[in-house]
């Protein structure tokens, strides 16, 4: 009897070993695939599912085993740097990584989409490698590994020109509009230089039997920003704005504002969180088209500006808050305070809430023209009008329910926005 029992135990153990060595049936592989929540606004999800079919794309972060947060920032060349932050959950707890890709300024949407998907694929492979699904994945390369030193003949200088002429004509109405801009920039880890030149011109002509009237609105600006990196938390900058505006009563306006900035978090983590404090103090010269409500035709002014900006983006949502205080030193009552906020929170499974907006207290309109505004100037907003505040806002609630898996691609009758 003991010998028979011994043989039965040996047979059972051998059967268990054979069962473990048997390959997993392909039909059951899907249940081993990592559950991935891709937090990416603007990604082409149909393309992503086609290129990376070996994960389960879940619509609820609570069901995820891998959370991927995608953020982007503009690069100095005019392209974008996309950062993919991978966070392992449940069985992949502690497996975290961050990958990034910078697109060229002349890259097509298709090229950028392909590179971003390859980056996502590379980040997800480490999770799939710990499941039987890895047996169904082939890894290859294109063989182009010759290293070449890149020579930048432009030395990081980037130029962008845009023009947008527009003409409208009716029997009793004519409108001519020009929007022209030139952006010159140079961005390196040490410095950031941006020169933005804008010219906007609008002429509206109203024709009737008794009168032929034309209204002109013109804005010319040159905005210069120069920033020097000091450390991983400190920066020194200069804002220099020059321009004229018929609506704001400026024949010429010159604002020179040296500014210092401190970021509580390292700048290297800017795609995920920022808490920046700015203080600037400078000089403003204003020459007015018409006498102001304070009987001034020109002014020499000193001003200060304080700004605080907080941004964070995590799997629960994101927060973007900023506030700016501006004031003139000759009269501390002449100030303005602006606040902007945008918050998006995932409340429970499938339910998210977002609110955004801004407002401000305004008591620094020194350039207001003296005299009453005509009806046309008010209706067409040809001249700035006195106000003590400004407000804007929006609220949205989104609820999604149904299957937590979303792996099927059906491109018939369009892709529905690619998401």
The C-alpha atoms of residue 63 and residue 349 are separated, in whole angstroms, by: 9
Identify whether residues 249 and 391 lie together within a single domain.
yes
The C-alpha atoms of residue 322 and residue 369 are separated, in whole angstroms, by: 30
Identify whether residues 262 and 389 lie together within a single domain.
yes
Identify whether residues 256 and 369 lie together within a single domain.
yes
Domain count, the chain: 2
Identify whether residues 244 and 349 lie together within a single domain.
yes
Identify whether residues 250 and 375 lie together within a single domain.
yes
Q: Last residue of some domain: 119, 136, 153?
A: 136
List the beta bridge partners of residue 298. Answer: 287
The C-alpha atoms of residue 265 and residue 165 are separated, in whole angstroms, by: 43
Identify whether residues 122 and 267 lie together within a single domain.
no
- CA distances to 5, 38, 104, 271 from 84, rounded to whole Å, are 57, 10, 18, 10
Token pair in block for residue 43: 């990604």
Strand, coil or helix: 50 = helix
Token pair in block for residue 225: 């920003």
Strand, coil or helix: 80 = strand
**Which of 109, 58, 62, 102 has the alpha carbon at shortest distance from 83?**
102
User: Would you say residue 378 lies in a domain?
Assistant: yes
- CA distances to 180, 228, 257 from 303, rounded to whole Å, are 30, 22, 8
Residue 120 sits in a domain whose CATH number is 3.40.50
Q: Last residue of some domain: 87, 113, 136?
A: 136
Lookup result for tokens 């990958």: 99
The C-alpha atoms of residue 165 and residue 201 are separated, in whole angstroms, by: 9
Identify whether residues 248 and 353 lie together within a single domain.
yes
Range of the domain at 68: 24-136
The C-alpha atoms of residue 89 and residue 61 are separated, in whole angstroms, by: 10
pLDDT along the chain (419 residues), means of 10: 41 38 54 88 80 86 89 78 90 90 78 88 91 82 57 79 92 92 89 94 88 91 95 94 95 97 88 89 96 94 96 81 95 95 82 89 91 78 86 86 56 49
Token pair in block for residue 21: 């060595």
User: Would you say residue 150 lies in a domain?
Assistant: no
User: Would you say residue 14 lies in a domain?
Assistant: no
User: Would you say residue 410 lies in a domain?
Assistant: no
List the beta bridge partners of residue 321. Answer: 310, 341
Q: Last residue of some domain: 106, 136, 166?
A: 136
User: Would you say residue 260 lies in a domain?
Assistant: yes
User: Would you say residue 10 lies in a domain?
Assistant: no
Write down the pLDDT at residue 346: 78
Identify whether residues 237 and 382 lie together within a single domain.
yes
Handedness of CA 376, 378, 379, 380 (dihedral sign): positive
**Which of 175, 224, 226 has the alpha carbon at shortest distance from 198?**
224
User: Would you say residue 320 lies in a domain?
Assistant: yes
User: Would you say residue 171 lies in a domain?
Assistant: no
């Amino acid at each position: 009897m003991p010998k028979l029992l011994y043989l039965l135990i040996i047979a059972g153990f051998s059967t268990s070993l054979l069962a473990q060595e048997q390959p997993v049936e392909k039909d059951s592989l899907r249940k081993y695939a990592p559950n991935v929540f891709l937090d990416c606004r603007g990604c082409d999800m149909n393309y992503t599912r086609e290129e990376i079919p070996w994960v389960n794309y879940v619509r609820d972060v609570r069901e995820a085993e891998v959370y991927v947060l995608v953020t982007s920032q503009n690069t100095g060349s005019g392209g974008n740097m996309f950062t993919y932050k991978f966070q392992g959950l449940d069985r992949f707890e502690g497996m975290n990584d961050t990958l990034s890709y910078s697109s060229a300024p002349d890259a097509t949407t298709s090229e950028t989409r392909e590179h971003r998907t390859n980056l996502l694929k590379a980040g997800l492979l480490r999770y799939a490698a710990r499941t039987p699904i890895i047996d169904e994945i082939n890894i290859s390369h294109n063989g182009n590994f010759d290293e070449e030193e890149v020579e930048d003949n432009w030395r990081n200088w980037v130029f962008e020109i845009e023009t947008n002429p527009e003409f409208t004509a009716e029997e009793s109405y004519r409108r001519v509009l020009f929007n022209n801009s030139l952006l010159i920039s140079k961005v390196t880890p040490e410095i950031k230089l941006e020169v933005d030149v804008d010219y906007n011109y609008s002429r509206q002509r109203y024709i009737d039997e008794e009168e032929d009237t034309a209204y002109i609105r013109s804005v010319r600006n040159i905005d210069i920003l120069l920033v020097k990196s000091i450390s991983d938390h400190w920066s020194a900058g200069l804002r220099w704005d020059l321009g004229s505006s018929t609506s704001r009563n400026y024949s010429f306006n010159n604002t020179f504002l040296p500014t210092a900035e401190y970021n509580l978090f390292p700048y290297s983590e800017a795609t995920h969180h920022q808490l920046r404090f700015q203080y600037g103090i400078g000089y403003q010269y204003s020459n007015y088209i018409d006498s102001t409500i304070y009987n001034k035709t020109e002014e020499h002014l000193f001003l200060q500006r304080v700004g605080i900006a907080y941004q964070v983006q995590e799997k629960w949502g994101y927060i973007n808050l900023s506030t700016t205080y501006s004031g003139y030193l000759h009269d501390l009552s002449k100030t303005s305070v602006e606040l902007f906020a945008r918050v998006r929170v995932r409340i429970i499974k499938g339910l998210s809430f977002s609110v955004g907006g801004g407002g401000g207290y305004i008591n620094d309109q020194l350039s207001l023209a003296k005299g009453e505004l005509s009806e046309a100037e008010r209706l067409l907003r040809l001249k700035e009008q006195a106000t003590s505040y400004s407000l804007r806002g929006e609220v949205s609630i989104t609820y999604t329910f149904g299957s937590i898996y979303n792996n099927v691609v059906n491109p018939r009758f369009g892709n529905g926005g690619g998401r």
